[in-house]
Amino acid sequence: MGLSLRIAEFALGFQWKNLSEGRRQKARWFVADYIGSTLAGSTLPEAASGFVLAQPGAVKLPGDSRGLTPESAAVAMGTLGALLQIHDGFGGGGNHPSSSIIPALWASRGGKPLAEFLLPAAVGYEIACRIAKCSHPAQTLAGAAPTSTTGAIGAAVAVGKLLRLDKRTLADAVSIAAFTVPVAAMRALTEHGSVVPIHGGLAARAALEAVRLAQAGLAAGENVLEGGKDSGLLQLLRGDAASLAPETWRGDMLDGVYFKPLPACRHAQPAIEAVLDIISKGSLDFRKIQNIKIHTYPMALMFGQPPRESHELYDRLMSMPWAIASCLVHGGFSFDNVTAPARDPRIEGLYSRISSASDPDFEKEYPKRFITRIDIEMQDGTTRTGECRMEYGMPSESGPYSPRGTTTPPLDEAGMRRKFFDLACRRISRDEAEKILNEIFERELAT
């Protein structure tokens, strides 16, 4: 059988009972956390970017009264939930599975209770993250962003599982998704393009279209994903097709998905944590800083430039210098750093004092650990040092929900609830937010 048919067979055979309770709880948070991220993102001025391509229809997003077509809803929700860069990520593949899979499921909901998303989401995550892992970090280094390339396939399977497609139709949806997958150029991420948050939504839309085409009887071929005598999608993405064995998958990839405690690029977070480490050791007056030296791994240096003059939201969140300077000026880092005025002369005044370099020892640890050390030289000649050894690529089935090795306490169950309400209640009432959580966590899943 071709890989698409084998993936379809895995997806249709996999059941809720096959997941450990730790993985089931993670699946619940996959859905809840992204809904919270979407609600918070919808309060930002940049939320308008998610609706540029919108067409009227019947699907309504969380906390929003306007009706959209399923495809428009997928693009919009994929964008809104990614605006704050606080949505989940997979450490072993460099992708954000939530921004394609959850919007595609929401757009296909059709009145189904949120609890019915859980198993399809878990299956979609497993597949997207397997593909991301087999091509990491080669895909990123080759210039493609894995969120969209792997997300379209994972989302197509998740929607097919939700809609109970037969094996042949689901396999065709996988092949079509592999054929039409949006290949987002990594260069746009490193240039901090304001359109970048949309790429997860584009992958979600591609997934919906792949399912619709497959339901209409169209097909792309048996081996579009893995290739044969000529290259398939995985070869294009620098992936290892031979490492994908759906017959052996048991939900293991869910262990490597982590939730973010801070609104920033994953490669900026270790720098923020290093600053927080310094602040935790004693007060620091940012006005008396002489120089700030960053020692990190090469991938993080791709995000080492200050924002452009306009300081657009995505430009800030993807910038290590902005994140470091903002943390120093505000004495910490939270949602409030994001909603503070974009232009701040105190923050911008620190950019020229920041320099960065790759550390060979830190490079060896990537991608299992994201390590950053920061040395701050003060005007009085003293040096303040902080370090973060974030275990982003270290899977855990039942451990904390955010990576270990950070100054910020890793998220536990109580932390995830606090995060959800902090995000969701920026748009909806506490009672409405409670209703969403209750629908996800308390309703029995009949599978």
Nearest to 119 by CA among 27, 253, 22: 27
pLDDT above 70: percentage of residues in the chain: 99
Q: What is the pLDDT of residues 380-414, one digit of tens each?
A: 999 999 999 999 878 988 889 999 999 999 999 99
Q: What is the pLDDT of residues 366-384, one digit of tens each?
A: 888 999 999 999 999 999 9
d(CA 348, CA 311): 10
Q: Domains, the chain, ranges and CATH?
A: 3-259+411-441 (1.10.4100.10), 269-390 (3.30.1330.120)
Degrees (nearest 5) of the Cα angle 206, 207, 209?
A: 65
Look at strands 89-90 and 257-258 and give their pairing.
antiparallel
Query: Tell me, what's the pLDDT at 134?
Result: 97
**Spatial contact of 78 and 203, defined as CB atoms under 8 Å apart:** yes
Query: Tell me, what's the pLDDT at 394?
Result: 86
**Spatial contact of 93 and 135, defined as CB atoms under 8 Å apart:** yes
Query: Tell me, what's the pLDDT at 445?
Result: 43
How much is the mean pLDDT over the chain?
Answer: 96
Residue type, 232: G
Sequential DSSP letters for 98-110: HHHHHHHHHHT-T
Task: State mean pLDDT over 196-211.
Answer: 98
Query: Tell me, what's the pLDDT at 88?
Result: 97
Q: What is the pLDDT of residues 125-158, one digit of tens each?
A: 999 999 999 999 899 999 999 999 999 999 999 9
pLDDT over threshold 80, residue 106: yes
**Which whole-number Å values give the CA distances from 137 to 65, 141, 142, 199, 299, in the listed order?**
40, 6, 9, 19, 10
Task: State mean pLDDT over 248-257.
Answer: 97
Sequence-distant (≥ 6) Cβ neighbours of residue 418 within 8 angstroms = none
**Spatial contact of 413 and 28, defined as CB atoms under 8 Å apart:** no
Q: What is the pLDDT of residues 212-241, one digit of tens each?
A: 999 999 999 999 999 988 999 999 999 999
Maximal CA-CA distance, the chain: 73
The length of the chain is: 447
Query: Tell me, what's the pLDDT at 281?
Result: 96
Query: What are the φ and ψ backbone dihedral angles of 238, each rounded to 5 degrees?
Result: 65, 30
HSE-CB for 37 with a 13 A CA cutoff: 33
Query: Tell me, what's the pLDDT at 447?
Result: 38
Residue type, 197: P
pLDDT over threshold 90, residue 277: yes
Query: Tell me, what's the pLDDT at 136?
Result: 93
**Spatial contact of 129 and 93, defined as CB atoms under 8 Å apart:** yes
Q: What is the pLDDT of residues 162-172, one digit of tens each?
A: 999 999 999 99
Q: What is the pLDDT of residues 34-93, one digit of tens each?
A: 999 999 999 999 999 999 999 999 999 999 999 999 999 999 999 999 999 999 999 899
Degrees (nearest 5) of the Cα angle 403, 407, 409?
A: 60
Query: Tell me, what's the pLDDT at 443?
Result: 63
User: Pick the residue with more confidence: 283 or 446?
Assistant: 283
Nearest to 359 by CA among 304, 295, 301, 270: 295
Nearest to 27 by CA among 289, 257, 357, 292: 257
Tokens 């700030």 belong to which residue?
292
Q: What is the pLDDT of residues 329-341, one digit of tens each?
A: 999 999 999 999 9
